Structures are given as C-alpha cells and as structure tokens.
Amino acid sequence: MAGSATKPSKAKKAAPAASAEECHHWLRQMMLIRHFEEKAGEAYSLGKIGGFCHLYIGQEAVGVGCIASLRPDDYITCSYREHGHALARGMSARSVMAELFGKATGCSGGKGGSMHLFDAERGFLGGHGIVGGHIPLTAGTAFAAKYRGTDQVSACFFGEAAVNIGAFHEALNMASLWKLPAIFVCENNGYGMGTALARASAIMDISHRAYSYAMDTEAVDGQDVLAVKAAMDRAVARARTDSMPTLLEMRTYRYVGHSMSDAAHGTYRTKEEVETFRQRDPIKVLAEYMKAGGMIDNAGIAAMDEEVVAEVADALQFAEESPDPPPEALTRDVYAEPR
Amino acid sequence: MATKIVMEALSPTMEEGRLVEWKKQEGEPVATGDVIAEVETDKAVMELVARADGTLLKHVVAAGTTVPVSQLVGVIGEPGEDVSSLLAGSANGKAKAEAPAPPAVAAAPAPAASVATPKPVLAPTAAAPGGRIKASPLARKIARDRGLDLGAIRGSGPEGRIIQRDVEGAAVQSPEPAGPGGPAFRDVPLSQIRKTIAKRLAQSIGPIPTFYLTSEIDMERTWDARETLVAGKDRSPDEPRISYNDIILKAVALSLRQHPDCNAWWQDDRIRYWNEVHLSMAVAVEDGLITPVIRLADRKSLREIAREARELAGRARERRLTPAEYTGGTFSVSNLGMFDIDQFTAVINPPEAGILAVGGITPKPVVVDGATAIRRRMRVTLSCDHRVIDGATGAQFLRTLKGMLENPLTMVY
Amino acid sequence: MPTLTYRDALNEALLEEMQRDPDVFLMGEEVGEYDGAYKVSRGLLKQFGPKRVVDTPIAELGFAGIGVGAAMVGLRPVIEMMTWNFALLAIDQIVNSAAKMRYMSGGQIGCPIVFRGPGGSALQLGAQHSQAFESWYAHVPGLKVIAPATPADAKGLLKSAIRDDDPVVFIEGEMLYNLKGEVPEGEHLTPIGVADVKREGGDVTLVCHSKSVTIALKAADQLAEAGIQAEVVDLRTIRPLDTDTVLRSVGKTHRCVVVEEGWPFAGVGAQVVDVLQRDAFDELDAPVVRVTGADVPMPYNKALEKAAKADPAQVVAAAKRVLYLE
C-alpha cells in the first residue's frame, strides 16, 4: 500500500521566485486553513457541525497556490473538500465556519453546509457533492466567458478519483475541442475515499489523461506552494491569453481521513505512510523556504500562528452565536422571486 | 360441474325478491338443503336453500339487491373451478330489480343535460354488511346539505354506492333543509308487501287508491274556547281573529305529529315519512283552488297559524304566492264549512297521502249521557292514499284529532 | 392567424428569443450543421453562427453541465436533448446541479436554463426510445416542467421558458412535431404554470398534457356522440401544476379521468389524483380513473406497441366508468 500514492519526488520541481510579501500571505493562508480545519474537526466531534465534513489538512498548498494566480473576477468551482479554497479565495473564516454550523450568517445562508459553500461576489461557484459532477460546470463558466468575450478564467478543483467518471472526460474533451479558458486542477491525494489510485485508475499519471484531449498538462509537487503557483500561472496565462485549457495534476496528500467518519489511517493506509508524507507538510516546506531566505523567523511564525488562532476562535464564536435560518427560509430560494 | 343458485319463487305471487343476507360466504362449503341466503318475498322473509353440494364459489349479487325470480344470484361448485361461463351468461341481466338501467346514452341525445339523471333508486340501501353506507363524497355532501338520510337511499353505483344521481333525485322535492329538530323526514324503502299492496290497489282503483274515513266531532268546547279567544279584551287590533279553521289546522298539525304515518309522501318506490309538518291549506280562488303551505305548523302557536293562514289566503286570492309557498306540503286540509257543506270527500294532493275535508259546524240533536241534547257538531272526512295509509292508521289519526277538538286543552300540552 | 406546425412554432420561438437576447444560445447534438435532428433548429446556424448554435459531441452529461455552468454566470442556454431518452445520461446535471443551485447557494446563484427535446413514444422505436419522463422531472423541486400540446402553446411556452429565471425541462411531443395549428402573430407568450381548457363540457373532466391532449380531444368527440360533454383540461405545465384550473373543472363535472402517455406508477396522473382526493374530496362522485401507457417497457411489435399506448377508446371507457355508464 505504501506505494499506492504517487511519490511527490516524481513531480516536476519548480524554481519559482516569489516576493516575501507573497510568501507571507500564502503562509498565513495555509496556517489559517490548517487551524480552521483542525477546529472544524473538533467542532464536528462536538456535534456543532453535522453531515459530511471533508477536511483539507495536508493539501493547503494546492488551493492557496492556485487561487493566488487568479483574478478576483475569475470563476472557481470545487468539489466538496472546499473549505480551504473558500478561505484562500478570501471568504471570511466567519462566513465559512457559520456555514459549517448551518447558521443564517453562513456563506450559503446555512442551507448549503460544508459541501456547498458559495460566494457569488467572489466568483466562488460552490462546493459540489457529486464526484466529478462539477467539472462540466467549469467548462460551462469558461464557455460563458469566451461567449461574452471576456478574459475571465475558470478553475476547477477535484480529487484524482473524479478522473474516472464520465463527466471528467466529457468536460475535458469539449473544453479542448472548443478551446475554453478552463483550468482543471486535479488534487491527487492518492486515495478516492479508501481506494488507492492504483486500484482505480489504469494509469498512474493523471496528467497523462490530458493527452486524450490534446490538452496541455503538468504534474506538480502539490506540497510546494511556489511550484503550485508557478504551474498555475502558466495555466492561467494559457487560458487568459490563448483561451486554451490545461489539466494540472497536483500531487498531494491528506493527513486526515476522507471525511470525519474516516480514521486518518488504518484500513487502507498505514500510519507510517501518513508519517512519511507529513515530512513534506506544505506549511513546513514554505516556512523552511522563507526562513532560509530570511523572510521570516520563528518569532514571526509564532506571531502569525497567534493571529490565525484568534481569527478562527472569532469565527467559532461568531458561528456559535449566529442565529439559525428563520423557518421561512425553508421554502425560499427554490425558485427565483417573481420579477 | 358448477350449479347455479337462482332466485326462487318462494311465494305463489312472488315475482322478485330482495336478497336480505347471505348466510354462506364465498368459499364456504355447502350441502344440499343448507340455508344459503335469506330472501324477502312479497309476503315474508324466506330461506333460500342449496340445491347442490360443494363450495359457494360466488355471490353474484350483493346482499340488499332485489332480483327477479329465476335470476342467477350465486354459484356452487368445486374450489378453483372456472365459473366464468356461467357468470358471463348472466352479465346482462344482473340485478335488474328496481334499479333502472343506466341511462341509455345513445338514446339520450339531449345536448343540455347530456347525461340523463335517472330517477332516484331507492329501497334496499347501500349499507354494506357492516352497516357502513357507501356513498361518493359528492353524494354525501349533497345529502348533508339537503338533510337527506343516506340510509334510505338506494345507491345505483358499483356495489350499491350512492352517487350524485341517487341523491339528486331524492332531493328534488325537498322543500327546505332540516329544521331544528333534526332531519326533515325519513325515507323508508318499500318492503315487498308494501309494493304488492300498492300495485294491487292501484290496479283496482286508479292511480291513487283512495279510501275515506269520516268522523263527527263535538265542537262545543272548541266553540267556547274560540269565543273566549275572540272576546279577549287584551287582544290588540292588529292581531288576527282566530277562526275555527285556525284551530282545526293546529289540531291537525299536532295530530299529525303523533301520527307520522299519515304525514307522508308516496314516491313510487318508497314512502317518505316527514318528521316535519307542512300543512297545505286549500284556498278557493277566482277560477280554482290553490294550497298555500303553512310550514312547520305543528311548532307554531295558534296566533302564528292564524296570522299566516290569513296572510297566505289573502295573497293566494291576489295570486301573489310564490311556487315555494304552495308546494312542499306534507298533508292538506280543505274546509268547506263556510259554504254550509256538512260533509264531503276531498281529492288527494299528491305526493301527499292524506287530505282532511272539513264540513260546517251545525247544531244537531245527539245523545249525550243517555239523553238527547243539542250540540254543535262537525264532520270531517279523511281521504287516504291506501298505498301509504291503511284504514286503521287513518282511523287512529282521526281519533286523536277528534280528541283534541273535543277537548282543546289537550292541544296545550 | 397563421397556421404553423408544432416544429415550426418551436423554431420561431427560438429564433425570436435569440434575436431578442444575445445571452440566449442553443447547444446540442446536430442542432447546427445538420439543422436539427428533428429540424426544430432549422436555419438557426445560418442566422446566428456557430457561436450561438453549438453542435456538441454525443455527451449529454457534459454539455448539460456546460449549459448549467454558463447559466450560473448569467447566460441563458437552451440545451437540446436529441430525445429525452438520452437525457437520462444528463440527469445528474439537471437534478443535482440545475435544480438545486439556487437553494444550496442560499439564493446567490440562479440557473436560467432550458433543457428541451422530444419525449414520449413515436412509432416502433422500441423500449429505449419510447418513454415519457415528465413525472421524473416534476418530482424535483427547483425544476419547472412544461409539456405543450399545440403549436401555439409550444411557441408561447418555449418563449416563456427561455425568459424564465429557473431551470425548465421542456418536453416536446415527438409525435406532435407535424401537428398543425394556429399560432398568434407577434409577441406570443404563454404563462408557465397555467393550464388551458381545450374543450368545455359539464359531464366529465379529462386532464391531460402533451400528446395525451390529442387523445383526450378525440375521446371527447366520441363521448359527445354518446351525449356526454367532456371538458378537456390541458395541464401544459406539469410543475408548477395549475391545480386551480383542475379543481374548478372537477368542481363542475364531479368526475375526472387523467390521461398520460407515461407509465402509471407515480405518474403525473397520480399527482393530479392526489390533489383531487384532498382538495376536491366532496366534489367527487366517482373515484378518479387514470389512463396511462401500459406498465411495461415499450415493445417493438406494432400490435403490442399499440396495446401499450393510451388511446381514445380507453379514455372513453374510463369516462363512462366514472359516469357509472359502464
């Protein structure tokens, strides 16, 4: 089983250059996501959050690095493991945590929940609950941008298990056929729920799937936010200037279970494997890089940590104290209000 | 080999019988001679017995259905035996009874009322063996609105379900909704014996087989009572002057309440016994006669009856009565006393079953307590529809009426 | 009033709406170069070019999802399903994406999209190509479901559907494309959610939609010969269901037969019956009877196929049954 997850070492190494300011921003975002997810997991076990809850711990560099490349008017569509992307997009920890708590102040008014975070103003077009079902939506938002002649880019985030479903193939084929400005970001964390990639896919290099559609592709070290950002920059440029789609395979790992009802390790992967990947924790990778470059010191990291702890504590309190949606919300938003 | 069970002629004059109750259920074993059903004939309730051994495979007609003699009502055979051929033969003639065939649609091209509403079908009711009445929701609503008793209505729908056309027909002549005292009337399906009587008598005498009962009533006390009422010093000028006729109307109404058998309508296939008394009062008008109705007369005071009778008679002469005011009576009174008529017979005003002909009040010598005395006497003659009222029934009513008029105080309590 | 076929009425609706609103585009298999599998989109490619009349690969799920994505950011896609049988492949996008987007986003993201194409059976197309799916989609809150029966309604309702801000499932009658009828000139919009009394009568109500309207009207003719006046209520929109019109009619006739092309179990008629038993309970003089397609996959054999389809004779028999004239 140890060999099931794709080794990060295989991935293309980038030699990016990023400013200290950018790195600070990304480090803080990753630390915020990490802490947010840990507290969300805690709130889940306390019964504050219900239903399904898929945490992003371990994959932070992908969401943060990719979204850093996007413009505010670009479109983002995600799978159900999207808390990190929402925060990286600039949605407040308050609105996301309140949504997890099902409160009226949540980003979807408490009617979406963990899997359906939306923020129309930020072009954050939802977490979606059917594996792969949202990939055509991204082709659709890209189609709309091209139709209207804007240079907006559409990014889609999904796990590697989604590449085996028809929607992936249909969407990528049409995106390439019609030259749509879309970026398909596959977050390959090695497991589709409990099924290792090798047990689900006939080929191990997800990026190779793009060859079927004559689409540009890259396999990227998903634990290195700078590499992620650099690859995404290339894809965004291709989309924005050439209106061409890209498939990015981000090789990453989740340190926690598939969802809250799944142990971090046990039946389908070993503790040792999880520990091995923890050695390349994306937060540690960036922090080391910054320290080596003199961009930050331990005190700076501690101060940043303090900040995100306070921000998440505030979000939790806000979520806790927010009201439930009013009863009349039940039947609202099924259809448009009459014009 | 399956054996048919047919409606047998269980009396010499029986032409049809009502299957009152199945004594054997489908699937039950039966032996020759076992009682399998009860049948009401024109004379009595009789037993229908099995003519073969085996299993009762099918009830071809439901309990409560009236079936002509020799019609298939059930099948005895071996369990699982195919009896469809036997049943097929009977499909058309099934349960003819008094249920009218559904309207022959092809023969009724009338565009306006395109689905002809058949006449109400009464008698055996829609009550299921458990006593539950099957009626469509619409039929129930109509019945509720019009105060009809579903138990008295025969349903023409599947399995005797009472449907709109059944209650619509039943309600046509209903004068007004149920009064405060509950349903306005009670429909009683015709029993076989009632039907036979009706048929025979009608054949003998005409559409309404009428007979007459005459009684002479001593009016002394009524006379005195009326004198007192009329002379009453307290009477305001606009109050009506009580007439003998008013008192008679009141007495008739009260008597009818005690004898609902005479307060009834003949309705061809049933008799409607009214729980309310609506008195038709014959009024002579210029070129004939009209009968305005005093509604709920049994619940009205003498003063109210007097005022209403005066008012109705007045407008009758002016021809200003509305149809609702001269229809819907349950019994009629015709008084020719003012024309010095001693005694006469009146013609029944259908569907009412009785009319009382009232003669004049005349002093005459009668024997009282063994001595001859001059008393004010009045003769009344009750015309009875014999299909509804039998001699004894009418006589009892007259006796009550006589008692009241001879001792008017009895009207008070 | 000009007479048009159902097909051309739909074509006019598309043409007019695409002229009116540049955000409207048509996407589907064979809609462009081929001029439409059923020629509903005839001439539109020539008129509007490939940007707005988009031929797709055979990938219903994919292009349905692309349509939903485009609608989420404000375009007004018309997604043609070559037939609704193929839309089963896209039902995830119609149900999980389009229908729920507004709700699960807390009202932020709408989905003004029309999925349209022929439904129901044609002639001897066999089990996989002869199905009526109205009740499937009508089950889903968030969708509107329309199934017009006449050229005028087809045009007026398609125009309304394209302008509607919610996802609309627009099921055309495959056997109705050649049906001719008068279509009002000029701007002709038919409101969504309003049934239409196609024939008045006082004795029995025949509730129907799409092709079953034709069946019910034929049955009504036959009933009239027998002196029975049937009222034919064309639902036109299945969801939202115009219960008022149905209740008004049954309140008058007290008897109802529901006719539909689809299968009996949990069909459109079942919903109508539910409404009647609850809201017209006291008006009913007989149980409501349904006439549906047979509860089997559609057979190929011509005689068997005929037996599997609802027809006027069944409707006449059902009407007589609720009138207790059997």
Chains A & C: contacts with CB separation below 8 Å: 148
What's the mean per-residue pLDDT of chain C? 97
Q: Kind of pairing, strands C3-5 and C24-28?
A: unpaired
Residue B12 burial (CB < 10 Å; 0-12/13-18/19+)? exposed
Give the model confidence (pLDDT) of C170-183 as tens digits.
Answer: 999 999 999 999 99
Q: Residue B203 has what pLDDT?
A: 67
Residue C191: count other Cβ atoms within 10 Å of its Cβ.
11
Residue at A121: amino acid letter: E
Q: Residue B195 has what pLDDT?
A: 76
Give the containing element (helix H, strand E) for A68.
helix A60-68
CB contact under 8 A, B141 and C282: yes
For residues C50 and B93, which has the higher predicted lDDT (pLDDT)?
C50
C198 near C217, Cβ under 8 Å?
Answer: yes
Q: Which of A332, A84, A326, A55 is nearest to A228 (CA)?
A: A84
Give the model confidence (pLDDT) of C183-226 as tens digits.
Answer: 999 899 999 999 999 999 999 999 999 999 999 999 999 999 99
Q: Which of A186, A201, A190, A306 is nearest to A246 (CA)?
A: A186
Give the contacts of C64 (CB within 8 A, at least 6 positions apart).
A136, C79, C81, C87, C90, C93, C94, C98, C115
pLDDT band at B81 (very low <50, low <70, confident <90, very high): confident
For residues A186 and B317, which has the higher predicted lDDT (pLDDT)?
A186
Residue B198 has pLDDT above 90, yes or no: no
Q: Which residue of C has its CA nearest to B101?
A: C325
Euclidean distance between CA atoms B327 and B307, whole angstroms: 19
Q: How far is A94 from chain C (nearest CA, A)?
A: 16
Two tokens, residue B326: 């001269």
Q: Residue B208 has what pLDDT?
A: 85
Two tokens, residue A228: 């992620």
Residue with tokens 């020759």: B32
For the segment B394-399, the average pLDDT, to the nearest whole number, is: 95
- Of residues C62, C103, C165, nearest to A174 (C-beta): C62
Q: Residue B173 has what pLDDT?
A: 41
For the segment A173-180, the average pLDDT, to the nearest whole number, is: 98
For the segment A9-27, the average pLDDT, to the nearest whole number, is: 74
Q: Which residue of C has its CA nearest to A123?
A: C73
Q: Residue B115 has what pLDDT?
A: 38
pLDDT band at C285 (very low <50, low <70, confident <90, very high): very high
Residue with tokens 């907006």: A152
- At residue C91, the 3 state secondary structure works out as helix
CB contact under 8 A, A75 and C66: no
- Of residues C69, C106, C144, nearest to A137 (C-beta): C69
Q: Which residue of B has its CA nearest to C319?
A: B115
Q: Which residue of A has its CA nearest to C22?
A: A148
Q: Residue B131 has what pLDDT?
A: 62
Which chains lie within 8 Å of chain A at 3 or more CB pairs, if any? C
Two tokens, residue A101: 């708590």
Q: Residue B209 has what pLDDT?
A: 87
- At residue C130, the 3 state secondary structure works out as coil
Euclidean distance between CA atoms B384 and B356, whole angstroms: 9
Of B101-115, B136-150, B197-211, the range with the highest mean pLDDT is B136-150
Q: Which of B270, B260, B131 is nearest to B191 (CA)?
A: B270
- Inform me whether the C-beta atom of residue C193 falls under 8 Å from chain A C-beta atoms: no
Euclidean distance between CA atoms A318 and A330, whole angstroms: 22
pLDDT band at B43 (very low <50, low <70, confident <90, very high): low
- Of residues C63, C75, C106, nearest to A144 (C-beta): C75
Q: Residue A140 has what pLDDT?
A: 98
Buried b / exposed e along B266-295 (16+ C-beta atoms within 10 A): bbebbbbbbbbbbbbbbbbeeeeebbbbbb
Q: Residue B103 has what pLDDT?
A: 37
User: How would DSSP label each residue in B201-261?
Assistant: HHHHH-SS-EEEEEEEEE-HHHHHHHHHHHH-TT--TTSPPPPHHHHHHHHHHHHHHH-GG
For the ranges A78-87, B60-69, C30-39, which has the lowest average pLDDT? B60-69
Give the model confidence (pLDDT) of A67-109 as tens digits.
Answer: 999 999 999 999 999 999 999 999 999 999 999 999 999 999 9
Peptide bond into B102 cis (omega under 30): no
Residue with tokens 């009239």: C224
pLDDT band at B153 (very low <50, low <70, confident <90, very high): confident
For residues A148 and C326, which has the higher predicted lDDT (pLDDT)?
A148
Set of chain A residues whose Cβ sits within 8 Å of the Cβ of C164: 336
Q: Residue B54 has what pLDDT?
A: 87
Set of chain C residues whose Cβ sits within 8 Å of the Cβ of B138: 254, 282-285
For the ranges B118-127, B383-392, C219-228, which has the lowest average pLDDT? B118-127
Set of chain C residues whose Cβ sits within 8 Å of the Cβ of A148: 75
The phi, psi pair for B290, rounded to 5°, reads: -140, 155
Give the model confidence (pLDDT) of B47-64 as tens digits.
Answer: 888 888 888 988 888 888
Residue B336 has pLDDT above 70, yes or no: yes
A146 near A180, Cβ under 8 Å?
Answer: yes
Strand order in the sheet with B35-40: B45-49, B35-40, B16-22, B66-68
For residues C111 and B268, which has the higher predicted lDDT (pLDDT)?
C111
ipTM of the complex: 0.95
- pLDDT over 70, % of chain B: 82
For the segment B367-389, the average pLDDT, to the nearest whole number, is: 92
What's the mean per-residue pLDDT of chain B? 80
Which chains lie within 8 Å of chain C at 3 or more CB pairs, if any? A, B
Euclidean distance between CA atoms C307 and C289, whole angstroms: 18
Q: Residue B331 has what pLDDT?
A: 95
CB contact under 8 A, C97 and A133: yes
Set of chain C residues whose Cβ sits within 8 Å of the Cβ of A135: 65
DSSP-derived letter for residue A331 is G
Set of chain A residues whose Cβ sits within 8 Å of the Cβ of C107: 109, 332-333
* Helices first, then strands: H and E counts in chain B: 9, 19
- Inform me whether the C-beta atom of residue C323 falls under 8 Å from chain B C-beta atoms: yes
Q: Residue B13 has what pLDDT?
A: 64
Q: How far is A18 from chain C (nearest CA, A)?
A: 33
Set of chain B residues whose Cβ sits within 8 Å of the Cβ of C281: 137
Peptide bond into B351 cis (omega under 30): yes
Give the model confidence (pLDDT) of A201-260 as tens digits.
Answer: 999 999 999 999 999 999 999 999 999 999 999 999 999 999 999 999 999 999 888 887
pLDDT band at B11 (very low <50, low <70, confident <90, very high): low
Taking the model in full, what pTM does it have?
Answer: 0.68
The phi, psi pair for B103, rounded to 5°, reads: -55, 135
Set of chain B residues whose Cβ sits within 8 Å of the Cβ of C221: none
Q: Residue B104 has what pLDDT?
A: 37
CB contact under 8 A, A333 and C103: yes
Buried b / exposed e along C12-29 (16+ C-beta atoms within 10 A): bbbbbbbeeeebbbbbbb
Q: Residue B206 has what pLDDT?
A: 75
pLDDT band at B91 (very low <50, low <70, confident <90, very high): very low
Give the contacts of C174 (CB within 8 A, at least 6 positions apart).
C38, C83, C118, C119, C120, C121, C122
Q: How far is B350 from chain C (nearest CA, A)?
A: 31
C155 near C100, Cβ under 8 Å?
Answer: no
Residue B177 has pLDDT above 60, yes or no: no
Q: Which residue of C has its CA nearest to B92?
A: C326
Q: Residue C33 has what pLDDT?
A: 95
Which chains lie within 8 Å of chain B at 3 or more CB pairs, if any? C
Euclidean distance between CA atoms C219 and C204, whole angstroms: 11
C250, C285, C289, C322: best to mutate for the B interface, most B CBs within 10 A? C285
Interface of C with A in 143-182 (CB under 8 A): 144, 164-166
Q: Residue A31 has what pLDDT?
A: 98
- Inform me whether the C-beta atom of residue B143 falls under 8 Å from chain C C-beta atoms: no
Q: Which of C231, C244, C252, C235 is nearest to C195 (CA)?
A: C235
For the segment C243-259, the average pLDDT, to the nearest whole number, is: 97
Give the model confidence (pLDDT) of A250-301 as tens digits.
Answer: 999 998 888 877 777 778 888 888 888 889 999 999 999 999 999 999 999 9
C288 near C257, Cβ under 8 Å?
Answer: yes
For B369-407, strand residue ranges (E) read: 371-385
Q: Kind of pairing, strands C76-80 and C114-119?
A: parallel
Give the contacts of B140 (CB within 8 A, at least 6 positions apart).
B150, C282
**Does the annotation count C129 as an active-site position?**
yes
Of A286-300, B60-74, B119-133, B183-197, the range with the highest mean pLDDT is A286-300
The dihedral built from the CA positions of residue C186, C191, C192 and C197, taken in this order, carries a sign that is: negative
Give the contacts of C94 (CB within 8 A, at least 6 positions apart).
C64, C87, C115, C137, C140, C143, C167, C169
Beta bridge partners of A251: A188, A221
C82 near C58, Cβ under 8 Å?
Answer: no
Q: Residue B67 has what pLDDT?
A: 86
